[in-house]
């Protein structure tokens, strides 16, 4: 879940494919704002291998 600004930036940089799959999640995380990071914290922790 991204805010409108981050979504537009990510799409403009062509990070997601036609199915909205992002192969390079680190590039995605580098581009999204702290608000988007907070919303997605459980998913980010899971992708990073956090045990929480």
pLDDT one-digit tens code per residue, 10-50: 999 999 898 888 888 888 888 888 887 777 777 767 777 75
Rounded to two decimals, the pTM is 0.61
Give dist(CA 8, CA 3) in Å, integer.
9
DSSP string computed for the chain = ---HHHHHHHHHTT-B-TTS-BS-HHHHHHHS-HHHHHHTHHHHHHHTT---
Instruction: Label residue 39 exposed, middle or buried (CB < 10 Å: 0-12, 13-18, 19+).
Output: middle
């Amino acid at each position: 879940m991204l805010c409108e600004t981050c979504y537009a930036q990510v799409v403009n940089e062509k990070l997601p494919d036609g199915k909205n799959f992002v192969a390079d999640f680190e590039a995605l995380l580098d581009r999204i704002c702290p608000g988007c990071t907070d919303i997605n914290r459980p998913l980010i922790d899971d992708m990073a291998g956090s045990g929480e």
